Amino acid sequence: MHEDAPAIFSCKDLTVDIAGRTLVEALTVTVARGELIAVLGQNGSGKTLALHTLAGLRPARTGTIRMLGADLATSKRKDLAKHLTLLPQHVDDIFPATVIETALIGRHPHIGRLSWESQQDLDVARAALAAVDLHELATRDILTLSGGERRRLAIAQVLTQEPDLYILDEPTNHLDPQHQLDALRLFRARADAGAAVIASLHDVNLAVRFADRCLLLYGDGRWDLGNTSEILDAERLSQLYGTPMEAVTWRNRELFVASGDVAL
């Protein structure tokens, strides 16, 4: 994270619930440029709902969210899309389209209502496809892509959008180990270049490697937030995941493995 980097996004006293169940209570977070925050927790702990709430796609029970100083609730979606993007966990394709056409959707917030994509827009989309190793498939129908290829295209689309804040729901979903690393390197690079990233992850060791801070969601309203090197330890992760976790040292880095199947 850049030292003294300005805050671009924040939420205060944010409570997220569904069907009478409180998943996250009174969450307060400030996100700075240059920062990558990993969101960790069990299935059903509220990671997706929290990210959708932060992106303004569903109302919070309480609390406020601000993007670049403006209240998210009163911001126009077109204007907001220039600064914030959400990568959903799943993408459904209803109509046929080519890979490059799909990547170019990310440019729509930057294009006038009656305008067409410019050469610059095409260049941005092609660079994003090259970054996720899909440049040779630019003219392919998206309905012919594998699950992993389609996920990489979804990543290319949000990269093409070039926002200030990337909100990513399981960006490594459907990806093999190499492409998982490649994807997180891309978003780490965007953060290092001055954007910010909030990403839910299932692999705690990817958070160890790439995240500046981690937000832990316990699914019952409780949450913890702190620097990755300080907040991730075997005891806390065992509580978070409901199974014994053990720290191991590999290449001078502390990693974590599930060491048993006894619920705590």
Residues 106, 158: Cα–Cα separation, whole Å:
6
Helix, strand, coil percentages in the chain from 3-state DSSP, rounded to 5: 35, 30, 35
pLDDT at site 181: 97
pLDDT at site 77: 87
Question: Helical H runs in 17-76?
Answer: 47-54
User: Is the per-residue pLDDT at 154 higher than 80?
Assistant: yes
Measured CA angle at 100 (ends 96, 101), to 5 deg? 50
Instruction: Classify residue 69 as left (phi > 0), alpha (psi -120 to 50) or beta.
Output: left
pLDDT at site 4: 61
Q: What's the pLDDT tens digit per position in 133-153?
A: 999 999 999 999 999 999 999
User: Is the per-residue pLDDT at 1 higher than 80?
Assistant: no
User: Is the per-residue pLDDT at 164 higher than 90?
Assistant: yes
Question: What is the percent of the chain where pLDDT is above 70?
Answer: 96
pLDDT at site 5: 66
Residue pair 172/206 in contact by the 8 Å Cβ criterion: yes
DSSP state of 22: E
pLDDT at site 222: 97
Of 3-12, 84-93, 239-248, which range is least confident? 3-12
Q: What's the pLDDT tens digit per position in 171-209?
A: 999 999 999 999 999 999 999 999 999 999 999 999 999
Q: What's the pLDDT tens digit per position in 213-238?
A: 999 999 999 999 999 999 999 999 99
CA 139 to chain centre: 27
Residues 201, 256: Cα–Cα separation, whole Å:
14
pLDDT at site 2: 47
Q: What's the pLDDT tens digit per position in 68-102?
A: 999 999 998 888 999 999 999 988 888 889 999 99
Residue pair 135/103 in contact by the 8 Å Cβ criterion: no
Residue pair 258/241 in contact by the 8 Å Cβ criterion: yes
pLDDT at site 123: 97
DSSP state of 6: P
Place of tokens 């720290």: 247
The per-residue pLDDT of the chain, averaged, comes to: 93
User: Is the per-residue pLDDT at 52 higher than 60?
Assistant: yes
Q: What is the dihedral of CA 199, 201, 205, 210, to 10 degrees?
A: -10
Question: Helical H runs in the chain?
Answer: 47-54, 77-80, 99-104, 119-131, 147-161, 177-192, 204-210, 228-231, 234-241
pLDDT at site 262: 53
Nearest to 238 by CA among 213, 207, 216: 216
